[in-house]
Structure formats: C-alpha cells, structure tokens
Amino acid sequence: MTLLFVSTHEDPAAWTAELRARLTEVPLRVWPELPDPDAVEYALVWAPPPGLLATLPNLKVVFSVGAGVDALLADPDLPRVPLVRMVEPGLTEGMTDYVCQQVLAWHRRGPLFARQQREAVWRPVLHQKLARERKVGILGMGALGADAARTLAALRFDVAGWSRTPKSLPGVQSFHGPEGLAPFLARTEILVCLLPLTPETDGILDRRLFAALPRGAVVINAARGRHLVEQDLLAALDSGQLAGATLDVFREEPLPHTHPFWSHPKIVVTPHIAAITQPRTAVAQVVEGIRRHRAGQPLEHLVDRDRGY
C-alpha cells in the first residue's frame, strides 16, 4: 500500500515532509519515482500527466491537491475510482482573504486612487457608500463561496449568493437555479465568481451576464479562466457597463505579456494566487481520507463526476 504524490506545479518538499510526519504507516513515492506501480493504492495529485493514473492498476482513491477538479476530469483515461476534492482551512481562508481584499479595494476605490498616485493627482472623492449599502454577490456557494459570503457579511456588506441548488446561510440572501440568476445579478454591484468549472458554467461570464448587472458594476473572477469570455469583458469595460474587474485566473497561464488585460486601466491582474493549498493544513484531510477508506467509512468531499465538482 503506497501513496503517490504527483504534481507538475508544486514543489514536493513541503508536501513530503508533512506526509511523512503524519502518515508514517503508508509508504510515500514522489512522481516520477515509481518503482512499483502495482503498490500504489492512493494518489495525491495536481495536474498529473494525462493517462498517468490509468497506469496504476490497484489505485483505490485519488485526492486532488486543489479545490477544482476540472483538469482531472478532462483526462479521458481517469480511473473510475473515488475522487476527493480539497477542502481544507488554509485554502478556504486564503480565498476569503483574497475576496475580501478585492471587494474592499473596489468598494473604497482603491484602483482609482492608485492611478491618481501614479499620475500625481490629488482629487478626493467625497461621496463614499458604507459597506452595508454595497451589494456584493457570490456566484457559487460551495465551501469557498460560503466562507467568503459569511466573512463579507460580518464586514457589514449586503451579501447575496447564487448556487445551482438552494442554500441557506445566516445573513446572506440566497438565490438558486436558472430562475434565480437574473434577480441575483440585478441587485449585485460587486460580483465574485467562485463557481466550479463545468460544461454549464464554461463561459458564464459573458455579455449577457454583464448586461444583467447594474451599470457600473465590478466583476472579480477567482474561479477558472474559462468562466470568462474575454472579449465580452473588454467590451463591457470599454462601454462603461462595467466599472472594473479583478482577474486571478486566465484561459492561458501564464498570461501572455502582450495580452490586453495587462495594460487595461480598469483591470487588476493577479497571477493565480487567490487561494493556495497549504501543505501544513491540507495534509490532515488526506490522512483522514486514507484512514476512513481503510476503515470502510464513507469518504468526505467526494466529487460527483456528472456534476463536475
């Protein structure tokens, strides 16, 4: 029984140190070191090479390093074994920190004053809404969205959430399903996208959605680059339908240096750093998952492959 760690992006040192300290009874291998594929029963992965997991004949569970599993599900040879998405305190807190930072920045006109500083312009804005007067909407009310919504509500923002199915969260107005999207958008001044990427949500941030927001709204995308139709965003910004956007994820990463997002005056770009899985807090979920599986108990945070999350 072996755990295989596979990542084409992560430095394995921090992961292996935590795993070896907390999972002493399970041998650990780090890809591409794989002397005995037959021994591997568990895999902890991020962006593994397509087809790699299919070469492990005794694989029993796949644990994702990240909250999103769209890249894994795109592998046509992905074994039909339980797939567990990452839900861990460090990842959730990091996303909430990022969302609050960006919402507060747009709420208090941070990008405007940063531009005025670069231009050495002293131009106070004397009218400023209070947080309780600012309507924030969270697209996607899973673990990440729910935590961000709770924290923004605690900061006194007027928060609503939209999800595929009904959700109930104290202090947060809830909308759900196709019929709930239009009224949700109509009341949202700052829109935060934290949706999983599925065939239904691919390209959801498009001209029709932007037109359904109040004029002068702001969009924050910290989910997946493919949620956004890039040309529709540029058109909405240039027309004034949107006042600004913060983008942490992109269809092509790294973002090409010639991409118009870099120089657009109404766009804030961050390099896919909104929420980073922390080995020191995430390994506990993997250890618990292996323990539950070995004990014949139900696994937590299982991915529904039909839904894509």
Catalytic residue of the set 85, 164, 224, 227: 224
Q: Which amino acid is at 165?
A: T
Q: What is the mean pLDDT of the chain?
A: 97
Average pLDDT over residues 261-284: 96
Q: pLDDT digits over 86-116, tens only? A: 999 999 999 999 999 999 999 999 999 999 9
Q: pLDDT digits over 204-246, tens only? A: 999 999 999 999 999 999 999 999 999 999 999 999 999 999 9
Does 176 participate in catalysis according to the annotation?
A: no
- pTM as predicted: 0.95
Query: Residue 277 phi/psi, 5° resolution?
Result: -60, 130
CA 118 to chain centre: 31
Does 272 participate in catalysis according to the annotation?
A: yes
Average pLDDT over residues 72-79: 97
pLDDT for 267 equals: 98
Q: How far apart are CA 32 and CA 206, in angstroms?
A: 40
Percentage of residues of the chain with pLDDT beyond 70:
100
Query: Residue 45 phi/psi, 5° resolution?
Result: -135, 155
Q: How far apart are CA 245 and CA 267, in angstroms?
A: 5
Q: Which amino acid is at 22?
A: R
Catalytic residue of the set 187, 272, 292, 294: 272
Q: How confident is the model at residue 9 (pLDDT cuts 50, 70, 90)?
A: confident
Rg of the chain on CA atoms, in Å:
21
Indicate whether 82 pLDDT > 90: yes
Q: pLDDT digits over 10-60, tens only? A: 889 999 999 999 999 999 999 999 999 999 999 999 999 999 999 999 999
Q: How confident is the model at residue 259 (pLDDT cuts 50, 70, 90)?
A: very high
